[in-house]
Amino acid sequence: MLSFVAQRVLKGVVVLLAIVVLNFFLIRLAPGDPAIVMAGEAGASDQVFVQQLREKFGLDKPLPEQLFIYVKGVVTLDLGFSFRQQAPVAKLIGERLPATLLLTLTAFAISLVLGVLFGTFAARFAGTFLDTGITIFALVFYAMPIFWVALMGILLFSVTFDWLPSFGYETVGANLTGFAHAIDVLKHLIMPAMTLGLFFMATYTRMTRASMLEVKRLDFVKTARAKGLSDAVIQRRHILRNALLPVVTLAGVHSGTLIGGAVITETVFAWPGIGRLMYDALLQRDYNLLLGVFVICSAMVLIFNLITDLVYRLVDPRIEFAS
């Protein structure tokens, strides 16, 4: 296992460096000049001032030299300096990352637990009204746009019933501490996490149902029934456990992309995460900040993929790590 993990980490570092180089050139191909954007925000259009900004932030250097400086910084864990925010990129991301992790991991847990639970019931009672109801429920949330679900949630639970706050990470100016602060954050978290989680829940529900129906027809399940095992044991230890492998694969892919894929949810609910930070950096042509967010998101994807491979061994001990 240690050899497997070491090899995957080494490969992940190589992949991450390749992603850094690719993103560097892709962002440079995008239209817009950050120096002109900053000059416009300062109310100046003098070419001398624009050139001074380029020299200040190293934008006047050739692309290969800029790439070398940036990759050298990434290797030494220095993500650079934000043009627009006038602060180190690592500090800006560090301030936003906990909020994004709280949102995405909560949404991921909600989607996975509810998806497997609903998918199991749908497969267990396949062809019944319960199966039809769960399938329709999953398809509805899979088909509805996330921003629409978010807006409807705000209208229903914030405007109409006034049960939950409609935006933000915490109540502004409340200065709560301890358990009261945790409850306040939880109230703000419920709607964004449910909005993001219900979409992926629909995917896991359909995947779990299809996988369990496929496993149910295999010979080892028929053998278990012939041995006289109870239906609950067969469903839990034989069907569900073997049907979880495709779900784990899909969850591993989603867990990484959720980190950078919550832009819409964070925007609608004004959640102070890196998804919104990435969107603002894109509008402001803040190259270093945008690249820094990409690096962190890419690293999280690689980490979650490694965790997924390790979870395979727990779900199915027959799987051995490749040398």
Give the tens place of pLDDT for each residue, 124-152.
Answer: 888 899 989 998 998 888 888 888 888 88
Superfamily for domain range 96-315: MetI-like (1.10.3720.10)
* pLDDT, position 226: 87
Per-residue model confidence (pLDDT) at position 8: 82
Whether the per-residue pLDDT at 28 is higher than 50: the answer is yes
Residue 95: both structure tokens together: 């301030």
Cα angle: 241, vertex 215, 315; to 5 degrees: 20
Residue 55 scores a pLDDT above 70:
yes
| pLDDT over 90 percentage in the chain | 5
Residue type, 178: G
Does residue 118 carry a pLDDT above 90?
A: yes
Distance of alpha carbon 64 from alpha carbon 67, whole angstroms: 5
Residue-wise pLDDT for 196-249, tens only, equals: 888 888 889 988 999 988 888 888 888 888 888 888 888 888 888 888 888 888
**Mean pLDDT (whole number) for 283-299:** 83
Tokens found for residue 220:
């080892």
Q: Residues 48-74: what's their mean pLDDT?
A: 77
* pLDDT reported for residue 113: 92
Q: What is the DSSP letter of 128?
A: S
* Residue range 97-116, pLDDT digits in tens: 888 888 888 988 999 999 99
> What is the rounded CA–CA span in Å between residue 122 and residue 129?
9
End-to-end CA distance of the chain: 9
Cβ count near 279 (within 10 Å): 16
Which helix (H) or strand (E) is 186 found in, with range? helix 178-216
Residues of the chain with CATH 1.10.3720.10: 96-315
Given this model, what pLDDT does residue 323 score? 44
CA distance 229 to 246: 25
- Torsion 212-216-217-219 (CA) sign: positive
